[in-house]
C-alpha cells in the first residue's frame, strides 16, 4: 500500500474514533443528566415535606443556604469532568476513597445527597449552630428513608456525620486524620475568619486537593483565591481555579457561583477533551 493512502486511512480511522468518543461522551452525559433530574426531583419533593415536619426551613436560625439538589448534582458532574471527584466507586483506590468535608453544613443537605447516592465514600460536616446540628440527624434519616422506601430509589441508608464545631476554629490537624479529599462550603455570608480557616486546611491537609466555595460571585475569583491560600508559606502559583456559574439556591431567586480551587499538582485526566486536546495527545 502506498504511504499517502495508508496515511489517509489512518487519518480517517482516527477521525472515526474521535467521532465515536464524542458520541459516547454525549450519550454518557445525557444519561447522567436524566438520572440527575430524576433523583433531584425525588429528593426535592421529599425534602419539602420532611422540613415541614421537623421545622428546619431556610433562614430560621441565622444565615443558612444551600444549592438545589439539581444544581448540586450539576456541580458534581463538573467536578467529575475536571477529575476532582471519581466518576464511580469502582475507581476508588483503597485508602484514597473520596471523603468530603462540608464547612458550615447547616442540616446536611449537600452531604446527604452525595453520600446516599454513593458519590463519596463518606461525608462529614461542621456547623456551629447547635439548633441545626440537633435537627440534622432527624432530617437526614427521614429524607433517606422517604427517598429509599417511598420513591424506591436504590440509595445508601447510612447518614453522614455532622459535628458541632465553629469552622473558624478548625485547623489542619483537626481534619487530617479523616483523610479528606474535597472541601465544600456554601460560604455566602461566612465571616473572613472561617474562610481563612478553610484556606489553611487546603494548604495544610495533604490529602485535600480541592476546595469548592459557593458564593454570590460579587468578588473577582483571583481576589478570593489570593486571600484564601497566599500566606507566604506556599506561593499562589501552587493553586489554580475555575468557576461554575448559574447555580440555583433553595428557596431563593437569582444564581450563585462555585469557585473550584485545587492544587496544581493534583492532576487527573479530565473526562471531557476538546477536539484540539484530543488531537494534541497524539
Q: Give the pLDDT score at 78.
A: 92
* C-alpha–C-alpha distance, residues 269 and 104, integer Å: 30
Number of neighbouring beta carbons within 10 Å of residue 169: 12
Secondary structure (DSSP) of 185-222: EE-TT--HHHHHHHHHHHHH-TT--EEEEEE---S-HH
Q: Which residues contact 30 (CB under 8 A, 6 or more apart)?
A: none
Task: Identify the band that residue 268 occupies on the pLDDT scale cut at 50, 70 and 90.
Answer: very low
| 172, 204 contact by CB (below 8 A) | yes
Phi, psi of 158 (to 5 degrees): -85, 125
Average the pLDDT over each of 95-99, 152-156, 252-256 and give the range with the smallest value: 252-256
Task: Catalogue the long-range contacts made by 29-35 (C-beta closer than 8 Å, 24 or more residues apart).
Answer: 29/77, 32/77, 33/77
The fold of 3-269 is Rossmann fold (3.40.50)
Side-chain-side CA neighbours of residue 241 (13 Å): 21
Kindly report whether the global pTM for this prediction surpasses the value 0.95: no
pLDDT (tens digit per residue) in 54-107: 776 544 444 456 889 999 999 998 999 898 998 888 888 888 899 999 999 999
* C-alpha–C-alpha distance, residues 117 and 112, integer Å: 8
pLDDT (tens digit per residue) in 185-234: 999 888 999 999 999 999 899 999 999 999 988 889 888 888 887 766 55
pLDDT (tens digit per residue) in 161-185: 999 999 999 999 999 999 999 999 9
| 86, 109 contact by CB (below 8 A) | no
Q: Which three cell numbers stand for residue 131?
A: 439548633
227 SS3 class: helix
Q: Which three cell numbers stand for residue 153?
A: 430509589
Amino acid at each position: 500500500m502506498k504511504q499517502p493512502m495508508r496515511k489517509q486511512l489512518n487519518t480517517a480511522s482516527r477521525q472515526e474514533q474521535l467521532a465515536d468518543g464524542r458520541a459516547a461522551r454525549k450519550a454518557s452525559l445525557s444519561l447522567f443528566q436524566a438520572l440527575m433530574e430524576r433523583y433531584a426531583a425525588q429528593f426535592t419533593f421529599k425534602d419539602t415535606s420532611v422540613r415541614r415536619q421537623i421545622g428546619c426551613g431556610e433562614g430560621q436560625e441565622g444565615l443558612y443556604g444551600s444549592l438545589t439538589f439539581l444544581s448540586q448534582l450539576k456541580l458534581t458532574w463538573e467536578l467529575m469532568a475536571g477529575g476532582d471527584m471519581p466518576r464511580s466507586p469502582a475507581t476508588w483506590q483503597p485508602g484514597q476513597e473520596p471523603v468530603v468535608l462540608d464547612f458550615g453544613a447547616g442540616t446536611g443537605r449537600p452531604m446527604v445527597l452525595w453520600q446516599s447516592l454513593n458519590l463519596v465514600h463518606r461525608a462529614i460536616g461542621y456547623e456551629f449552630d447547635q439548633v441545626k446540628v440537633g435537627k440534622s440527624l432527624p432530617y437526614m434519616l427521614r429524607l433517606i428513608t422517604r427517598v429509599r422506601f417511598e420513591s424506591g430509589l436504590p440509595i445508601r441508608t447510612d447518614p453522614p456525620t455532622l459535628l458541632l464545631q465553629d469552622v473558624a476554629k478548625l485547623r489542619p490537624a483537626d481534619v487530617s486524620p479523616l483523610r479528606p479529599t474535597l472541601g465544600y462550603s456554601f460560604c455566602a455570608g461566612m465571616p473572613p475568619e472561617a474562610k481563612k480557616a478553610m484556606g489553611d486546611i487546603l494548604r495544610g491537609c495533604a490529602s485535600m486537593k480541592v476546595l469548592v466555595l459557593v458564593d454570590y460571585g460579587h468578588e473577582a475569583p483571583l481576589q478570593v483565591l489570593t486571600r484564601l491560600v497566599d500566606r507566604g508559606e506556599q506561593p499562589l502559583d501552587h493553586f489554580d481555579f475555575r468557576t461554575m456559574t448559574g447555580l440555583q439556591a433553595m428557596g431563593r431567586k437569582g444564581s450563585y457561583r462555585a469557585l473550584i480551587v485545587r492544587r496544581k499538582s493534583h492532576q487527573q485526566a479530565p473526562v471531557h477533551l476538546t477536539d484540539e486536546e484530543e488531537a494534541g495527545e497524539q
